[in-house]
Amino acid sequence: MSYTKVWENNEKLSKEEKLKLEKDGLEILNDIPKYAEQGFDSIPQDQWNLFKWAGLYLQKPKEAGYFMMRVNVPSGILSNEQALVLANIAKDYGRDVVDITTRQAIQFHWLEIEQIPDIYKRLENVGLSSVGACGDIMRTIVGNPLAGIDRNELLDTREIVEDIYWYFQRNEEYSNLPRKYKISISSNVNNAQNAEINCLSYVPAVKEIDGEEVVGFHVYVGGGLSSKPYLAQELDVFVKPEEVMEVTIAVTKIFRDMGYREKRHRSRLKFLVADWGVDKFKEELLKYVDLPSKGTNRFEEWNAGYFYGVHKQKQEGKNYIGFNVPVGRLSSDELIELCRISKEYGSGEIRTCNSQNVVIPGVDDDKVNDVLKEKIFERITVEPNKFIGYSVSCTGIEYCNLALVETKERMRMIAEYLDEKLSLDLPIRIHMVGCPNSCGQRQIADIGLQGIKMKTKDKKMVEAFEIYVGGTLTHDAMFNEKLKGKIHAEDLDNVLLQLLTYFKEEREEEENFHAFFLRVGKDSLQAKLDEILKGVAA
């Protein structure tokens, strides 16, 4: 290890930081074979937390010994062979559950320590890894799921993403960061990467240099969600494609060496950026790499990572097809079937989106109709209904130790209920989360639903939700705002139906939910919710 831990003599370090000084998170990889041989009971409880660096979290209850595994999928691009390996891991070990996350990764559940070495071997054989998918380390890199085939990208970012991902994989120079570290790299002009909610993002831009227009990136820093969300801020720098690695290393060093380590809840990069400001951050960055001032940002309307339908690729005669995976959950057999279809009709790839959906690329013009006739696309649809097609959910209490409520199945059922009861000519993005950590990215939704516990009149604790409204990204980026009131989980579908019926009746022609929110104001929606809740309580 060639760097100096400049923070190690800080007497105010959090207890987590003190433990990381004793043992780097990546060292757990050396212990897993031993634990696999000796069984779960051989793992000391003080080592449980380190499994995050291996991409593993203990499910609820932890003492049962079942793990969730998150597998990195940079830019969401999976070869046919990789996708088949993932499907078979779920079939053999994960009770057939395959979840797509809001960072394009794949999650398994129900894994046992004895199975991990074989799973690692399978992943490694096809160039996949779960290492760094969790922990105080660089997470999987979010990117453009259409990279290389996208008619709306300025340049193909696949090689850039791969190079950076593998540079940081198992790199002990950067495995002890103050907290998790999320980056995105995309040249899609519709912000498919959700740039503003990442610690570090590269977004498409152009700049005239020596009389020629150069395609490159602008840099956003300091975004993040959880209980205190921040939108990333744009630095006044322009980065050429060949400079992305150098800039990423520099920003990571700044976070590693200067990020906060005294209080765990204030250790994300977003807090350092908020305290410093972008001018100071730029000044520090320029000590590592010489960069010119920014050029012209090339963001257009935000697509939130949705690519439903049949679309022409850059490549003549080729198409990509975007499908809805309801709340991001597949069975292993469904993923195997998607692999068959992609290999038979397309390029063989399966591409995952941060909207928890999939894209099949490389379909010839004359094969599109054959693809759409496949039986699997009765559930995984190319033209989903407006609510189920734009619903996102975190894992929830089913598997997660942090969640307060059930989310996955509840979000699916509520979306299907709304689709049955209410017809709209435009989508409403609804995100449900089980706790303030917001793995389901509640803050950027038109309607965010955050799980809580509520005390009833007879003093029983029940699952309930709070409602947030008005989130969006890119041009008028803002997080959604909380409406007062706690909604019993059993009443949530009816309350949402009435609130959305109000939107349908009061909206102006072609007005989306965010524009409606800006026009009528939060107070108007609060008054309507108060009226609805009064009726529910009656």
CA distance 224 to 271: 9
Nearest to 432 by CA among 414, 452, 448, 446: 448
CA distance 74 to 165: 7
Fold classification of 309-378 (topology level):
Alpha-Beta Plaits (3.30.70)
User: How many residues comprise the chain?
Assistant: 538
Degrees (nearest 5) of the Cα angle 165, 349, 371? 155
Is residue 470 part of the annotated active site? The answer reads no
Catalytic residue among 346, 434, 448, 470: 434
| Helix (H), strand (E) at residue 470 | none
Is the domain 388-537 a CATH 3.30.413.10 member? Answer: yes
Is the domain 15-297 a CATH 3.30.413.10 member? Answer: yes
State both tokens at 157.
């970012």
State both tokens at 14.
């959090």
Q: In this structure, what DSSP letter does residue 377 have?
A: G
Is residue 396 part of the annotated active site? The answer reads no
How much is the pLDDT for 66? Answer: 98
CA distance 206 to 293: 11
pLDDT tens by residue, the chain, 538 residues: 589 999 999 999 999 999 999 999 999 999 999 999 999 999 999 999 999 999 999 998 999 999 999 999 999 999 999 999 999 999 999 999 999 999 999 999 999 999 999 999 999 999 999 999 999 999 999 999 999 999 999 999 999 999 999 999 999 999 999 999 999 999 999 999 999 999 999 999 999 999 999 999 999 999 999 999 999 999 999 999 999 999 999 999 999 999 999 999 999 999 999 999 999 999 999 999 999 999 999 999 999 999 999 999 999 999 999 999 999 999 999 999 999 999 999 999 999 999 999 999 999 999 999 999 999 999 999 999 999 999 999 999 999 988 999 999 999 999 999 999 999 999 999 999 999 999 999 999 999 999 999 988 888 999 999 999 999 999 889 999 999 999 999 999 999 999 999 999 999 999 999 999 999 999 999 999 999 999 987 6
**Dmax over Cα atoms in the chain, in whole Å?**
74
| Helix (H), strand (E) at residue 307 | none
Is residue 440 part of the annotated active site? The answer reads yes
Catalytic residue among 52, 103, 139, 179: 179
Are the C-beta atoms of 484 and 471 separated by less than 8 Å?
Answer: no
492-506 and 522-537 helices, crossing angle to 10°:
140
Is residue 451 part of the annotated active site? The answer reads no
Chain center to CA of 130:
15
Are the C-beta atoms of 146 and 359 separated by less than 8 Å?
Answer: yes
CA distance 366 to 384: 23
How far CA 481 is from CA of 63, 268, 432, 484, in Å, comes to 37, 22, 14, 10
Catalytic residue among 439, 448, 470, 528: 439
How much is the pLDDT for 538? Answer: 66
Are the C-beta atoms of 261 and 206 separated by less than 8 Å?
Answer: no
Chain center to CA of 212:
36
Is residue 439 part of the annotated active site? The answer reads yes
How much is the pLDDT for 530? Answer: 97
CA distance 311 to 320: 5
Is residue 91 part of the annotated active site? The answer reads no
State both tokens at 437.
């950590």
Beta strand extents in 240-298 (DSSP E only)? 296-297
Are the C-beta atoms of 144 and 194 separated by less than 8 Å?
Answer: no
How much is the pLDDT for 408? Answer: 96
Edge-first strand order for the sheet with 67-71 is: 56-58, 67-71, 106-111, 97-100, 329-331
Other beta carbons within 10 angstroms of residue 44's beta carbon come to 8
Q: What share of the chain is helix, strand, coil (3-state, %, to 5)?
A: 40, 20, 40
Where are the chain's structural domains? 15-297, 309-378, 388-537
Q: Which amino acid is at 410?
A: R
How much is the pLDDT for 1? Answer: 57
Question: Residue 475: is it exposed, middle or buried by C-beta count within 10 angstroms (0-12/13-18/19+)?
Answer: exposed
Can you tell me which residue has the tokens 């959604």? 480
Catalytic residue among 76, 224, 440, 448: 440
